[in-house]
């Protein structure tokens, strides 16, 4: 399981990937040469980044000049009254905080992830299939998680997703040339908020878009939302994706990158945002930090964007967080997703036992909106492996999938359902309500801390 190794966090949320693995890694046998991943590290010079919160909406006209006069530059600013700056010393940041219209200036925090415990990599002898027939995907017979939520029933009814609906994947990027994702990613609306990673992309894959996934996590999440269904099927096969890279090849970045990524997705036409990442920070003395996050997620809701977030993999009771703000389940107007999965299987293609069992690693509590398949001891979530991954370099040599467990894998199932409901004309509040009302009630009757309103049921949500 991935866990965060965090520096002291005094302000905004610490975060990282929420994927959790259940198998031993397959040793790479033959793979192309890459610039070493070790060259990707948190640049100490980048730690002079600051987040700025203004009084009310808008950014003062003199702000960029004020920052430049103090020796810094504006990295990103947004009409909601938020900006990110770099190059300021602490005294300069303190001076900026005194300027007219500025409510708060906070140091942006860097985070690191502990090493991956293991993800199973498997090759496919894939033959061309069609997005119109996802059940023909090579690995579909093993994708218990798609049948668990009734995705196959939606396909049979012609509900495979619309290219007019956009899901933003806030993650490590997307391998947009992966066969399962070719044509699904709108690069004109995709972006990277991890400058160090951009350099590494160009060193290893000259000419590729900065959103290229050098990790693997973002591609796996993206291909769960939608897939061309050559190697593995996704919940949909017609939805448009935009990649918003907020975490780098080593799983590191800044909290400000995540916030900027949310606002970018909102401004670039995302209907749904998936956030398979998270962390937490102390509320004590950080009331403005909570307000900062709340402002961002309220902005998304105001612009009619549905946000789906992973609950986390610490087996933690979110009701006993004490003074901790759980990002991003504690943010307003989000769907917080816990994980389920089978406890055993008779063979690789089933049958699977206790397919809706609550996953022991999943966080739980009253913040949980619904549950979805994330994998368990009897089966993992299967989706494509990025050919650009510096973690699993063998994936560059053919068509591979990753078997992975985690609430990171559960969240994109819900994001895909939200996309189908956008197609039906529902607004975010209606989507949140429909997903909960149509879920299969599991665990204790009614809403409970493990499943929330229940495990999602796609055909029921779509009225099929």
What residues act catalytically? Answer: 171, 217, 408
The Cα–Cα gap between 235 and 224 comes to 6
Rg (CA), the chain: 21
Helices assigned H by DSSP within 231-331: 255-267, 287-302
Residue 19 is given by DSSP the state E
Whole-number Å distance between alpha carbons of 356 and 364: 15
The number of angstroms, rounded, from the C-alpha of 439 to the middle of its chain's C-alpha atoms is 22
> What are the DSSP calls for 204-248, one per residue?
HSTT--TT--SSSHHHHHHHHHB---SSS--SBSS-EEEEEE-S-
| CA distance readout (Å), 92 to 48, 49, 95, 96, 104 | 10, 12, 5, 6, 13
**Consecutive H or E run containing 64:** helix 63-69
Taking the CA atoms of residue 316, residue 217, residue 154 and residue 270 in that order, the dihedral angle to the nearest 10 degrees is: 100
* Alpha helices for 70-162 (secondary structure H): 90-96, 144-148, 151-156
> How does 251-282 read in b/e, with b if 16+ C-beta sit within 10 Å?
bbbbbbbbbbbbbbbbebebbbbbbbbbbbbb
| Three-class DSSP category at 315 | coil
Phi, psi of 129 (to 5 degrees): -120, -160
CA distances (Å), 206 to each of 41, 147, 195, 213, 304, in order? 20, 39, 15, 14, 37
Instruction: Identify the three-state secondary structure at position 338.
Output: strand
Cis peptide before 291 (omega within 30 of 0): no
Q: For 191, phi and psi rounded to 5 degrees? A: -160, 160
Decide: residue 161, CB within 10 A, 0-12 exposed, 13-18 middle, 19+ buried: buried
Q: Which helix (H) or strand (E) holds 69?
A: helix 63-69
């Amino acid at each position: 399981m991935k866990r965060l190794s965090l520096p002291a966090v005094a302000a905004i949320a610490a975060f990282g990937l929420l994927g959790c693995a259940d198998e031993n890694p397959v040793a790479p046998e033959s793979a192309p040469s890459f610039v070493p991943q070790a060259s990707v590290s948190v640049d100490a010079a980048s730690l002079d980044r600051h987040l700025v919160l203004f009084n009310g909406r808008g950014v003062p006209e003199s702000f960029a000049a004020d920052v430049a006069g103090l020796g810094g530059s504006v990295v990103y600013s947004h009409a909601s009254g938020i900006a990110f700056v770099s190059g300021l010393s602490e005294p300069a940041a303190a001076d900026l905080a005194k300027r007219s219209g500025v409510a708060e200036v906070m140091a942006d925090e860097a985070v690191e992830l502990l090493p991956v415990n293991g993800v199973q990599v498997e090759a496919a002898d894939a033959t061309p299939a069609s997005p119109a027939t996802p059940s023909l995907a090579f690995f579909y017979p093993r994708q218990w998680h798609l049948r668990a939520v009734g995705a196959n029933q939606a396909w049979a009814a012609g509900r495979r997703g619309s290219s007019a609906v956009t899901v933003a994947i806030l993650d490590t990027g997307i391998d947009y040339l992966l066969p399962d994702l070719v044509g699904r990613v709108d690069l004109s609306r995709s972006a990277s908020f991890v400058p160090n990673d951009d350099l590494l992309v160009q060193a290893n894959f000259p000419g590729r878009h900065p959103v290229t996934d050098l990790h693997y996590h973002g591609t796996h999440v993206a291909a769960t939302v939608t897939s061309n269904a050559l190697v593995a099927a996704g919940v949909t096969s017609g939805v448009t994706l935009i990649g918003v890279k907020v975490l780098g090849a080593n799983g590191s970045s800044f909290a400000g990158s995540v916030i900027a990524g949310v606002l970018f997705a909102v401004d670039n036409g995302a209907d749904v945002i998936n956030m398979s990442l998270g962390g937490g920070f102390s509320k004590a003395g950080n009331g403005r930090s909570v307000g900062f996050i709340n402002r961002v997620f309220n902005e998304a809701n105001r612009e009619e964007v549905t946000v789906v977030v992973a609950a986390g993999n610490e087996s933690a009771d979110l009701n006993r967080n004490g003074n901790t703000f759980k990002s991003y389940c504690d943010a307003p107007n989000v769907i917080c997703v816990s994980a389920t999965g089978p406890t055993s299987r008779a063979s690789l293609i089933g049958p699977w036992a206790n397919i809706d069992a609550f996953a022991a690693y999943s966080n739980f509590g009253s913040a949980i909106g619904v549950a979805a398949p994330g994998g368990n001891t009897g089966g993992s979530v299967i989706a494509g492996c990025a050919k650009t991954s510096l973690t699993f370099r063998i994936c560059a040599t053919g068509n591979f999938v990753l078997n992975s467990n985690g609430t990171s894998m559960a969240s994109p199932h819900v994001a895909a359902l939200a996309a189908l409901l956008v197609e039906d004309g529902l607004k975010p509040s209606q989507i949140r309500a429909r997903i909960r009302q149509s879920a299969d009630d599991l665990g204790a009757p009614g809403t409970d801390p493990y499943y929330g309103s229940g495990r999602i049921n796609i055909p029921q949500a779509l009225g099929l």
